[in-house]
Structure 1
Amino acid sequence: MRPSIALCAAVLTVAAISAGAQTAPTMNDRLAGDIAPVHDPVIAREGDTYYIFATGGAVERGGFIPVRSSKDLLTWTASGAAVPALPRWATAAIPGARDMWAPDIAFVNGRWRLYYSVSTFGSNRSAIGLLTSPTLDPKAPRYGWRDEGLVVMSTRDSDFNAIDPNFIVDRDGRQWLALGSFWTGLKLFALDPNTGKPADPMAKPVSIARRPVPRGAPAPVEAPFIVDRGGYYWLIASYDYCCKGAASTYYTVVGRSRAITGPYLGKDGSAMMAGGGTILLRADLSEKQRFRGPGHAGVLRDRGGRDYIVYHAYDKDNKGIPTLRIAPLTWGADGWPVADY
């Protein structure tokens, strides 16, 4: 018995739709403008403009913590830099520091808080500082970043590394700063809401993630970012190694907890305090294997309940240069996040 012409047409239509869906450009495919080099990006929206802050400084940017702006999340324009030079306290506290790394941005009590790191590669003699401004718009009369000084510092005697800050307010209105890279993992500091600095400078931070490894080996976990959604706190972190170009093995995991202090568990119940979690961005991205080592991810909670994940990955087709990536972040029927990258 031969299938009807109508049935054949329906099958061909479904196949065509499926093929179209497979080849439709993703948001990442459509990113354009000043998107490389971009390392450790974080994103915010003020009014009708999106802003990205990232690691680095260069003469052509006019200072440190380069800024990019966009009206549509797709086409990005260079918008200068946050500050012209490292603060004096930072160069005194961290000898040899030449850069400002891994910023985080949040709007608190009428001012934007820009947390950032100062360190030297591979060392935990590090510090996190704070800048504040009433606006992100460099053309606004009130614009200008004020140095608020040191927030947290680690030394060679510390069991953590004070870089990669992330600010969050919990459901009870308490403010926290997550941070960390390697050593004994990711930490959480309770903050004074008025200053944005530790409420008790002598208090021991809470450990929220680590990767136990053989004695003497590195413990590659860093770049915490916490999202509050659906009755859970979601901890996003980067595992393995960045900064090796197309050979980078960075990938991104997520775990959730009912309490902001943990324990954070993956979908399979694996504990992030034991190196567990659920993969969110794979090291071998499906984007034609071109963009490698996706990591240092953050989330933008946008209008209309839309979420986006922003991160960097290394472009194998462009000398391994770290490149801006942005993807819609959806939440499945099981409540877990899925990145459409």
Structure 2
Amino acid sequence: MRIKHILVLSISLLPLSIVGCKDDDIEPERDDSEEETGFTIPTYADDYSSIASWANRNEWNLANVHDPSVAYYNGYYYMYGTDASYGNEHEGHGHFQGKRSTDLVNWEWVGGPFYEPPSWVADSLNAIRLRMGLEVISENDIRYGFWAPVVRRVNVGGQDILRMYYSIVIDNYIKTGKANTPNNFDGSWTERAFIGMCESIDPAGAVWTDKGFVTTSSSDRGLDYSRSSLSDWEAYFYYNAIDPTYIVTPEGKHYLIHGSWHSGFALLQVDPESGKPLNTLGEPYANSVSELTARYGVRIGTRTSSSRWQGSEAPEIIYKDGYYYLFLAYDGLDIPYNTRVVRSTNIEGPYYDISGRNFTNGRGDCYPIVTHPYKFNLSYGWVGISHCSISQKEDTDEWFYISQGRLPPNVNGNPYSNAIMMGHVRRIVWCPASQDEPDNLWPIALPERYAAVPDYGTITKDSLVGTWEHITLRYTYGVQNQASSLTLKANGTMSGALSGNWSYDATKKQLTLGNVVVCVEREVDWEANPRRVTFVYAGTEKNLNATYWGKMKK
């Protein structure tokens, strides 16, 4: 059981508190008029508490987003995520509610796949319990949690459909079946999670067909589900059946990857047509790791090989230019949540980070940092930025990082502001691992959110001269990395947050700061009042163990 998720959801249970490249040689102005371009900068507030009620859901846009997954279908990008909202406004209104957009900027609310827990969950749970010699748990006593779906467009029998894998967690103790509360602790671990699957050809109408059981949490400890105390974190389950991601390989094979916080991530092959496991799973418990993984999937990654509580979760996988890129979330999700990425030429691994650390074997923290809690000047900044969807814009080679961002605690005097979860869509830039490896490209999210800024022409070296807000995203648990001033001088030197020399390749849009190459783009300065277009950069270096983010001050 992911204790950190229970803690976060308890925050949202608190009472709702209302608080008020062209070839042009000339660099155009960065505040081109909307009349000339048809471009409009989003004006919605990041603190959406005043419109958080269910009655205002059509005004939410990207408000109330948690653990999103995005897929393109019939002209729209559809987004679905974990059941969570500020003040629990979602309760009683169905599960995995969605949003849709034509441009990845403006989103409208759409319904989710179901209102009640699917009946197969209780049936599957109690069938397993009976085979384990345990009493069944009455359906009325089962505590459900609805988490982290993944949605993909797939072609089945010549028809495009949306296929969703979703997680349902059972929050009852194994031994007695009682609800997971400290007073009910019975010396056992909490029950398992399930991954189910549903499909739709009419997501706009919220019409989904549930396909039922796919997999469940599985253990290498047989029937020994005992737990010595509430401070014992050596989990009973080897694989935790939550946080699925899904990929179709270039060879046409279909895989589900899932797992969280326990022993790592499982790779499970599924049948392309049915979406169900290709091989028979058998009992979700075994007496050894090898016996278990032979049926429930090979382990392709873990943050720490020796720990069953290793602080990584939410795998997301894409394939690009010969590599499988596996994105993963680190740490607790209220504030410290941050994103890393590793890659492999083989779907089964091994997966390595930018410096060669082996994530499949759990050889230490991985880099680069894709996102991390941060704060630009004149803003409260964002925390809890992870559990991402990586999506490709239809018919382009543009990639996007999509996640929630949480406001820090006590924003605008609101003690519950950390439960405000705004959806963040960021472009991904592919940056060199070092100056000597110009073609060894790694994905980093841009620091400012996507607003579909038009192409105003070539970004020239002269246009980058001036003052910037620079952030070194360096891993510090639960700390927002803050901006400091950086000046790029016309003579090619820099001062402030960084010193030394800088240079710029306008063809590649790559800015070199000392020995770190960053990628430059235009985005909206969301912290400015009013918001405006500016330059931003993101990049890393393979031995830096950090990421550079920056935006230009006007």
- The TM-score bracket by the shorter chain reads 0.7 to 0.9
Aligned pairs (5 A) from 1:82-231: 82-94=113-125, 96-108=142-154, 109=156, 110=159, 111-120=161-170, 123=190, 125-138=192-205, 144-155=207-218, 157=221, 158-202=237-281, 203-212=295-304, 218-231=309-322
Question: Counterpart in 1 of 2:22?
Answer: none
Question: Counterpart in 2 of 1:253?
Answer: 340
> Could you report, residue by residue, the CA deviation over 1:269-328 in whole angstroms, capped at 9, with x for unpaired residues?
112131432233333224455210211011111122111110112112361122211100
TM-superposed CA distance for 1:183, in Å, is 1.0
Aligned pairs (5 A) from 1:1-341: 33-56=60-83, 62-94=93-125, 96-108=142-154, 109=156, 110=159, 111-120=161-170, 123=190, 125-138=192-205, 144-155=207-218, 157=221, 158-202=237-281, 203-212=295-304, 218-242=309-333, 244=334, 248-273=335-360, 274=362, 275-287=364-376, 288=379, 290-303=381-394, 304-316=396-408, 317=411, 319-320=417-418, 321-333=420-432, 334-341=440-447
Is the contact made by 2:76 and 2:102 (CA closer than 8 Å) also made in structure 1?
yes
TM-superposed CA distance for 1:59, in Å, is 5.2
TM-superposed CA distance for 1:123, in Å, is 4.6
Q: SS at 1:137's partner residue?
A: helix
Richer in strand (by share): 1
CA distance in 2, matches of 1:102, 1:36: 17
Given the superposition, is the C-alpha separation of residues 59 and 33 from structure 1 closer, same or farther in structure 2, using an over 3 Å criterion?
closer
TM-superposed CA distance for 1:204, in Å, is 4.0
CA distance in 2, matches of 1:276, 1:264: 13
> Could you report, residue by residue, the CA deviation over 1:98-123 in whole angstroms, capped at 9, with x for unpaired residues?
33210101122232111000004695
Is the contact made by 2:380 and 2:407 (CA closer than 8 Å) also made in structure 1?
no
Q: How many pairs does the alignment contain?
A: 313
TM-superposed CA distance for 1:69, in Å, is 1.6
Rg comparison, structure with higher value: 2
5+ unaligned residues in a row in structure 1: which ranges?
Answer: 1-12, 18-24
What TM-score do you get using the length of structure 1 for normalisation?
0.82
CA distance in 1, matches of 2:168, 2:62: 23
CA distance in 2, matches of 1:124, 1:323: 31
5+ unaligned residues in a row in structure 2: which ranges?
Answer: 1-25, 31-39, 47-58, 126-136, 172-188, 222-236, 282-294, 433-439, 448-554
> Could you report, residue by residue, the CA deviation over 1:24-81 in whole angstroms, capped at 9, with x for unpaired residues?
x999999884323211001112233221101117657731101112222112222122
CA distance in 2, matches of 1:61, 1:35: 20
CA RMSD of aligned residues (A): 2.9
CA distance in 1, matches of 2:104, 2:326: 24
Is the contact made by 1:163 and 1:179 (CA closer than 8 Å) also made in structure 2?
yes
Q: SS at 2:78's partner residue?
A: strand
TM-superposed CA distance for 1:239, in Å, is 1.0
TM-superposed CA distance for 1:332, in Å, is 2.1
CA distance in 2, matches of 1:295, 1:315: 13
Given the superposition, is the C-alpha separation of residues 62 and 281 from structure 1 closer, same or farther in structure 2, using an over 3 Å criterion?
same
Q: Which amino acid aligns with 2:278?
A: A
Is the contact made by 1:154 and 1:160 (CA closer than 8 Å) also made in structure 2?
yes
Identical counterparts, % of pairs = 27
Is the contact made by 2:83 and 2:90 (CA closer than 8 Å) also made in structure 1?
no
Moved more, 48-57 or 295-304: 48-57
